[in-house]
Amino acid sequence: MFEQYFPIFVLVTVVTIMALGMLVLSHLLGRKKGTKRKLMPYECGIEPEEDARQRFPVKFYLVALMFIVFDIEVVFLYPWAVIYKQLALFGLIEMGIFILILMVGYVYILKKGALKWE
pLDDT of residue 45: 67
pLDDT < 50 positions in the chain: none
Within a domain: residue 118?
Answer: no
Within a domain: residue 40?
Answer: yes
pTM above 0.75, yes or no: no
CB atoms within 10 A of CB 2: 6
Within a domain: residue 117?
Answer: no
pLDDT of residue 29: 93
- Residue 105, domain CATH: 1.20.58
95 and 80 Cβ atoms separated by less than 8 Å: yes
Count of domains in the chain? Answer: 1
Within a domain: residue 27?
Answer: yes
Domain range for residue 68? 2-112
pLDDT of residue 11: 97
